[in-house]
Chain A
Amino acid sequence: MFDQLMEALNMVLQWQNFFWALFGVTFGIIMGAIPGLSDNMAIVLLLPFTYYLGPIPGIAMLMGLSKGANFGGSIPAILFNIPGTPQAMITTFDGYPLAKSGKSGKALKTALFASVTADTASDLVLIFLAAPVASVALRIGPPEYSMILLFSLVIISLAASGSPCRGLIATCLGLLLSTVGCDPEMGTPRFNFGFIELAEGIGIMPMAIGLLAFSEVLLQAESWYRDRRSGKKLEEVRLSTRGTDADRLTPAEMKQCLPTIARSTLIGSFVGIVPGIGTTVGAYLSYIWSKKKSKHPEMFGKGALEGIAASEAGNNAVNGPNLVPLVTLGIPGNLAAALILGGFMIKGLIPGPQFMESNAPLLYALFIVLLISNLYTFVVGGAFIRCARKLVSIPKPVLFSVVPMFCLIGSYVNNSSLFDIWLMLVFGVLGYALTKLRISLPTMIVAFFLGSLLEHKMRQSLLISRGDWTVFLDRHIACAFLLLTVAIILLYIVRHGFGQKKQA
């Protein structure tokens, strides 16, 4: 192993690797910071460039992109309440309130600190646990998978802020939307209402852009108009003054956030190892769990540093372990990993069970580059935070005009289809309406992500068992998660009844 490590170091210590990793991180932060664009779009745009690069610089650039965009999405989430990427939407819960109270610098630095710490820790998880974890992942079959997903859905329903009834409505709306397209087994059209463009289901980009970015523009434009008419001082983010406590993350605050970051890293790593669940769920589950464990849960949603740390650590901690199924089994964990798999294949490398044995030095070299990319994220992210002042000084009318333009571009580039733009508009109006009804959009989006996977795995399980529902009881891991789900529902009803959750 020592010889392989030495060979890996030899492969890494070339200027091209450092340069392209830095380029990837920088481009990723920029793409992530612009609402309507995303890490996936950034990877798609730069994937063709990997033809001209060696395997390590090419893959390093793509991985740097993913890391940079994960942090970049938190910048507009904190400053404008508009997440730059879907996984940054949880950061808006505490990031924006903290920025409005004049502590934008503290909020952004907390996000950066949590992102880099969790990303580094999860990369170490990838490096040391890839092989043993792959053997556990092999034992998770469709019944276990579906019960883990059902458990996740119940958790996010009950923990949705304000009301479990609204949480359940949001979850079921997300599940219904995930059934649009075609039946996963029969392949027959379902809920596409004659639109051929919906044959593959609702695109995640138009949906996420509409619900998160465009609806936010409508809401902010409305409150801006109302405040202007009433003569009320516009509620804007007050930039923190440089050098003050409001602009810094003190060592005491870093220490305060560490337990939250550690907890969120564990949750994000677990979520990342299981293919298909994704960064958004990692962020949400980390946030919910941290709120439960916090000494001051009442501060969550009002600008708690732990809230920002939990969300950012949760979504960044998914990155490293997401590559575990990719490099060990050849199964991409999410869209970004699938695109990175494309990058591997362009270079003639086929990830899978034999990959670790036959390409160990290359794999170790990539792991080293991952750690270097985290350092770049810290440095480049810190520089971007200083430029964030310029973003906040942009007049609101300019933002309200430019963001819809980016929403249009972001919806269109995926499929080059005008239908996606109309779909984005529909979801924008739906997001506006659901926000007015106080129904949680993040819950709905997470349920949408998980819904199609849940249906697919449940029906696979029933096919394997020939329609016998006891398959979920016969398998130990599946049964454990099912009992846990029922126990949580019963516990919740006993403690809270069916009423609104009491706000502390």
Chain B
Amino acid sequence: MNNDRWIGLGFLILCALMWIVIIPGQTEGADEAFVPRLAVIGLAVPSLIMLVRRPPSVTPLNFDPGTFVRSTLPVLGLFIAYIVGVSFVGFYVSTACFLVLSLLLFGERRAKH
């Protein structure tokens, strides 16, 4: 199954979840749910089209799991630690540590002369 179909299927599942579980649980009454349901229908229609149509071209997604794990996840982890640090230690100390650690993570080193 190509990428467009996976994307269509994924969004259709999201639409089903919204319609059956989330909207009834988070709204009270038909008026409140009107625009969210309209938006879900608007989301479901192109998702269904992407699922059933023959895709006009097969363009691979620009996503490499290995690169994601080795580069993006550490950045995210460091930033999460930064936020936690701000709430427990304070802004200045956390920021100083974050700046130093992220420079090291990205390989920014200067030789001593």
Interfacial residues, chain A to chain B (CB-CB below 8 A): 164-166, 168-169, 171-173, 175-176, 179, 183, 185-186, 188, 190-193, 217-218, 221-222, 224-226, 228, 395-398, 400-402, 404-405, 408, 418, 421-422, 425, 429, 432, 436-438, 451, 454-455, 458-459, 498-500
5 A-B residue pairings within 8 Å (CB atoms): A169-B47, A218-B72, A218-B76, A224-B106, A401-B103
Complex Cα–Cα for A414 and B107 (A): 33
Q: CB of B17 within 8 A of chain A?
A: no
Determine whether the beta carbon of B103 is less than 8 Å from that of A404. Answer: no
From known contacts A172-B42, A418-B83, infer whether A401 and B98 are also in contact, taking CB-CB under 8 Å: yes
Q: CB of B90 within 8 A of chain A?
A: no
Complex Cα–Cα for A228 and B36 (A): 44
Determine whether the beta carbon of B56 is less than 8 Å from that of A405. Answer: no
Chain B contact-residue range equals 35 or more
Considering the complex, give the chain A residue whose CB is closest to the CB of B106: A397
Contacting B106 at CB < 8 Å: which of A400, A422, A438? A400
Determine whether the beta carbon of A165 is less than 8 Å from that of B70. Answer: no
Determine whether the beta carbon of A190 is less than 8 Å from that of B27. Answer: yes
B1-45 interface with A by 8 A CB criterion: 7, 11, 18, 22, 26-29, 31-32, 35-36, 38-40, 42-43, 45
Complex Cα–Cα for A10 and B93 (A): 53
Which A residues are CB-close (under 8 A) to B86? 408, 418, 421
From known contacts A191-B36, A499-B53, infer whether A175 and B99 are also in contact, taking CB-CB under 8 Å: no
Counting chain B CB atoms within 10 Å of each CB, the highest count among A171, A192, A401 belongs to A401
Determine whether the beta carbon of B46 is less than 8 Å from that of A188. Answer: no
Determine whether the beta carbon of A172 is less than 8 Å from that of B43. Answer: yes
Determine whether the beta carbon of B26 is less than 8 Å from that of A190. Answer: yes
Contacting B40 at CB < 8 Å: which of A176, A192, A432? A176
Q: CB of B89 within 8 A of chain A?
A: no
Complex Cα–Cα for A454 and B35 (A): 9
Which B residues are CB-close (under 8 A) to A408? 82-83, 86
From known contacts A176-B36, A183-B32, infer whether A498 and B83 are also in contact, taking CB-CB under 8 Å: no
Per DSSP, chain B at the interface is: helix
B54 to chain A, nearest CB (A): 8
Considering the complex, give the chain B residue whose CB is closest to the CB of A166: B46
A5 to chain B, nearest CB (A): 48
From known contacts A191-B26, A404-B102, A498-B53, infer whether A185 and B31 are also in contact, taking CB-CB under 8 Å: yes
Which B residues are CB-close (under 8 A) to A228? 107
Besides A169-B11, A222-B72, A454-B35, 11 other A-B contacts (C-beta < 8 A): A169-B43, A176-B39, A193-B26, A218-B76, A222-B68, A395-B108, A397-B102, A400-B102, A401-B98, A404-B102, A437-B7
B8 to chain A, nearest CB (A): 8
Complex Cα–Cα for A359 and B59 (A): 61
A48 to chain B, nearest CB (A): 22
Which B residues are CB-close (under 8 A) to A164? 46
Which B residues are CB-close (under 8 A) to A421? 83, 86
Determine whether the beta carbon of B71 is less than 8 Å from that of A186. Answer: no
Complex Cα–Cα for A218 and B67 (A): 11
Which B residues are CB-close (under 8 A) to A396? 106
B96 to chain A, nearest CB (A): 10
Q: CB of B111 within 8 A of chain A?
A: no
Considering the complex, give the chain A residue whose CB is closest to the CB of B68: A222
- Nearest 4 CB-CB pairs, A to B? A397-B106, A225-B71, A165-B46, A397-B108
Complex Cα–Cα for A425 and B59 (A): 28
Determine whether the beta carbon of A402 is less than 8 Å from that of B99. Answer: yes
Which B residues are CB-close (under 8 A) to A183? 27, 31-32
From known contacts A222-B71, A401-B102, A408-B86, infer whether A172 and B39 are also in contact, taking CB-CB under 8 Å: yes
Determine whether the beta carbon of B55 is less than 8 Å from that of A165. Answer: no
A454 to chain B, nearest CB (A): 8
What 0/1 pattern do residues 64 to 92 of B give for CB contact below 8 A with A?
10011011100110011011001100000
B109 to chain A, nearest CB (A): 9
Determine whether the beta carbon of A173 is less than 8 Å from that of B55. Answer: no
B56 to chain A, nearest CB (A): 4
Complex Cα–Cα for A164 and B36 (A): 21
Complex Cα–Cα for A98 and B84 (A): 39
Counting chain A CB atoms within 10 Å of each CB, the highest count among B26, B45, B59 belongs to B26
A414 to chain B, nearest CB (A): 16
Considering the complex, give the chain A residue whose CB is closest to the CB of B8: A165
From known contacts A169-B47, A193-B26, A218-B72, infer whether A179 and B35 are also in contact, taking CB-CB under 8 Å: yes
Which B residues are CB-close (under 8 A) to A436? 61-63
Which B residues are CB-close (under 8 A) to A192? 26
Determine whether the beta carbon of A221 is less than 8 Å from that of B26. Answer: no
A396 to chain B, nearest CB (A): 7
Considering the complex, give the chain A residue whose CB is closest to the CB of B43: A172
Complex Cα–Cα for A421 and B93 (A): 17
Complex Cα–Cα for A224 and B11 (A): 30
Complex Cα–Cα for A218 and B79 (A): 11
Complex Cα–Cα for A422 and B87 (A): 11
Complex Cα–Cα for A172 and B18 (A): 13
Which B residues are CB-close (under 8 A) to A422? 83
Determine whether the beta carbon of A173 is less than 8 Å from that of B80. Answer: no
Counting chain A CB atoms within 10 Å of each CB, the highest count among B27, B46, B67 belongs to B46
Contacting B83 at CB < 8 Å: which of A185, A226, A425, A438? A425
